Amino acid sequence: MRKWLLYSLVILSGIIFTARLLYLQVFDSSFQQMSEVNAVSIVYDYPQRGYVYDRNGKLLVANQPSYDVMVIPRNVKTLDTLEFCKMLRMEKEDLERILAKSRIYSPRLPSVVLPQLTKDEYAYLQERMYKYPGFYIQKRTLRDYHINHSGNILGYIAEVNQKTIEEKPYYQMGDLIGITGVEAQYEEVLRGVKGVKYIQKDRFNRDIGAYKEGIFDTLPMPGKDITLSIDETLQAYGELLMKNKRGGIVAIEPETGEILALVSAPGYDPALLVGRQRSKNYTTLYHDSIAKPLYDRGLLAEYAPGSTFKIMNALIALEENVIDENNTFSCSHGYSYGRGRKMGCHSHPSPVNLNKGIYESCNAYFANIYRRIIEKYPTPQDGIDRWSHHLKSFGLGGFLGNDLPIGRPGKIPTSTYYNKIYNFPTYKWFSTATISNAIGQGEVITTPIQLANMTAAIANRGYYITPHVIKEIDGKPIDDPTYTEKNYTTVHPQYFEPVIEGMFDVYNKGTASRLQVEGIEICGKTGTAENFTKIDGKKTQLTDHSIFIAFAPKDNPKIAVAIFVENGYWGGRYAGRMAGLMIEKYLKGTITRQDMEEWVLSRSLEDEYAKPLSGKPFSINQ
């Protein structure tokens, strides 16, 4: 018996050890992870972000170096806080707060103490940093804007937030990502791919070479440069014209769908959202809830298109064969429908045919043809849906699919919509209930880019290419079919000529006859949209929006524009002048109508915008 004691103990301990080893090495996987956290650190190599050029090769956005003071909390030795703060020119409380926060984030990973030093600050600090173990200066690249406009198009970059990190594992804390505009839309093109290096650490957290001889390491892929379709000169000019006004200008090259200018007023200088003041500036812009500089009116603002929309009803009426260009309707200061209800109209000769209807912008004419369109079909529902179908083929009433990450669908009503608001079938409704659609004032709403695209489709006589701001990536023209293929309208090409002739006569003898530009055959249409706001819960009418659509030249058009000027009164007043100036600027490069330019530049609508906020009674349309 005695001889078996040690035998048993030896075998027993063998079994215990084997069990413990099985547990440690095979069943408990947490050690694997702990080992990696322990011994391997990951270093990223960030490639330079791609540059942005305009359509003429002008550099809009480049990069500039920036220096951040970083801290790895667990490496911090006893710190002379006072001296350190003095050096960084920051408050002691702020430093302590930041250090406490960084310890909570991670004792091992770097956190930012002081972001985005200037080169001079960097030069001063760099020589002194060695005294402060745990702190170091990290070089990063920031955007360097060569223009002080187009903030709405270019967008900006900022550190990724926690939500994005969770959704897109590519990003780490502190990485930069495009937040809006082109920076967001072409994020993956511009940013490239960061390189990764796995570094073997020793127990003092010192680098001791590449992990596994670098077999997992990857090289960074540089970001690609992009060329935008934006014409920087035209864009800058548009923003200049819009100074002290609110609204949007969208200019498109009809043949290609390239956006030449996308002005949102008021805009902001993109450089405001770079550097150490970024957060402060952003807050200021963000909290300006009246002028809303961060709100891209060109893409997001939904306005009633007003009389510019008459063009569409003319095209649909021709396509639906309910009129021809010679049909005439009489107008006696308006159009009466149903029990004493009347849609007013201004003074002009009567009767009116298509051509005159357009250039005089006769409400009665369009009320008549609208009713013909709707009443062609057995029920108003069928009529509305047919009408709506045509409009949608012009890119109205839905997201356009343009290459900026924001947008609004606008609205083109359908039978479903009217059935709902009129409680069909309990109550019936007829074409007259929707008669405001005839003059672009009822349930129809559009964004400036939709209207510009519509104008481009008219200029092209029956098709459009989805508007886009991208022109070239890495020097190669885009080949994405979304932005190269034609979208045909349901209105056939032959019906465009009489309508375009009418738009041409708007300049020759109509509502824009005083806005002609010498040497350019412009086709356009004015629009004046009633609009309302709520003051103390009461619906109050404000001065009309001034709207204009135009394209030029008449044959082989090179530019189509849509302009909204909030509370600018009638269409020819602000928007019409601006349209002429934009077109001349783009086609000629110089301005001959300096009277018009001076008129626009010298005027401000700030008084108009102050009215509803003043708390006092005010009058409109003066």
- Where do contacts with another protein occur on this chain (CB under 8 A)? 2-3, 5-7, 9-11, 13-14, 16-18, 20-22, 24-26, 28, 30-32, 34-36, 38-40, 200-203, 208-209, 211-212
Interatomic CA distance for residues 477 and 84, integer angstroms:
52
Alpha-carbon distance values, 246 to 238, 337, 415 (Å):
12, 36, 34
Closest to 524 (Cα-Cα) out of 513, 537, 535: 513
Give strand ranges (E) for 482-558.
486-488, 523-535, 538-552
Closest distance between another protein and the C-beta of residue 208, in Å?
7
* Whole-number Å distance between alpha carbons of 265 and 474: 31
CB of 206 to another protein, least distance (A): 9
| Closest approach of another protein to the CB of residue 41, in Å | 10
Closer residue to another protein in complex, CB, 23/105: 23
Cβ closer to another protein: 109 or 210? 210
| Cis amide linkage into residue 351, ω under 30° from 0 | yes
Minimum Å gap between C-beta 37 and another protein is 9
Nearer of residues 15 and 129 to another protein, judged by Cβ: 15
Which amino acid is it at 458?
I
CB of 28 to another protein, least distance (A): 6
Smallest distance, Å, CB 132 to another protein? 22
Nearer Cβ to another protein, position 93 or 215? 215
Nearest distance, CB of residue 166 and another protein, angstroms: 27
Return d(Cα 132, Cα 148) in angstroms, integer: 39
CA quadruple 50, 56, 57, 59: dihedral, nearest 10? -70
Smallest distance from the beta carbon of 17 to another protein, in angstroms?
Answer: 5
Q: How far is the CB of 207 from another protein (least distance, A)?
A: 10
Between 204 and 427, name the residue whose CB sits nearer to another protein: 204
- Residue 421: what residue type? I
- Complex with another protein: residue 34 or 221, whichever CB lies closer: 34
Six token digits for residue 523: 């086709």
- Please provide residue 219's backbone torsions phi and psi, each rounded to the nearest 5 degrees: -85, 150
Contacts of 518 (CB under 8 A, 6+ apart): 592, 593
For residues 506 and 523, give the distance between their C-alpha atoms in angstroms, rounded to a whole number.
Answer: 7
CB neighbours of residue 437 within 10 Å: 26
Identify which of residues 35 and 277 has a Cβ nearer to another protein in the complex. 35
CB contact at 8 A, 478 and 224: no
Nearer to another protein, 32 or 379 (CB): 32
Question: What is the spatial distance between Cα 53 and Cα 352, in angstroms, rounded to a whole number?
Answer: 49
User: 211 near 40, Cβ under 8 Å?
Assistant: yes
Q: What is the CA radius of gyration of the chain?
A: 32
Assigned token pair, 473? 């990536």
Q: How far is the CB of 249 from another protein (least distance, A)?
A: 60
Give the nearer residue to another protein in terms of CB position, either 3 or 287: 3
Distance CA 117, CA 49 (A): 19
- Greatest CA separation found in the chain? 130
Pick between residue 62 and residue 199 the one whose CB is nearest to another protein. Answer: 199
